Structures are given as structure tokens and as C-alpha cells.
Amino acid sequence: MINISIPAIWIAFFGALFGAMLGVALSFWIIKREVQREVRRIENEYKFLLVQGLVGGVMKYFFKDEETTVCKEDAKQSAEQ
């Protein structure tokens, strides 16, 4: 049997415990940072497309108001008369 003193065993145990906790905390911090970076990248890409009018045109197509369409048709008819 290997002769190891009791304090050395406890030092090894707590060293491994704190090392594992530090590793988990560091991993979660890195994951959080990468997710935030990806969210910022997607937001910037959406803003870029919005500025170019690519996304805005699609949104206007899907969310156009019936009142606006009716008003434009009335304006065309009154202009023709």
C-alpha cells in the first residue's frame, strides 16, 4: 500500500475540486461570450440588410395595411377624373 499522509490527500482533493469548478466557470464564461458575439453579428447583419432595403421591402410586403392600399387606389381614381 502506498503511504500518503492525510493532509496531502485533502490537499489533492480540494485542489481537484477547485480546479474542476474553475474549469466549469471558465467554460460557461467562454460560451456566454461566444453567444453574445453571435447575437451581435446577427443584429449587425440584419441592420445592414435593413439599410440596403432588402429586409424592409419584404417586411412591407407581408405587413402592408389595407387602408394604405385603398387610399392609394382612391388617389389614382381621383387623379384620373
pLDDT one-digit tens code per residue, 6-17: 888 889 999 999
Domain residue ranges of the chain, discontinuous segments joined by + = 6-80
pLDDT at 16: 96
Query: Distance between CA atoms of 75 and 69, rounded to whole angstroms?
Result: 10
Contacts of 55 (CB under 8 A, 6+ apart): 46, 49
d(CA 77, CA 65): 19
Q: What pLDDT is recorded for position 21?
A: 98
pLDDT of residue 2 exceeding 60: yes
Structure pTM? 0.52
pLDDT in tens, 34-75: 999 999 998 888 777 776 665 555 555 555 555 555 555 555
Per the CB < 8 A criterion, the answer to whether 55 and 49 are in contact is yes
CB 54 within 8 Å of CB 60: no
> What is d(CA 72, CA 78) in angstroms, rounded to the nearest whole number?
10
pLDDT of residue 42: 87
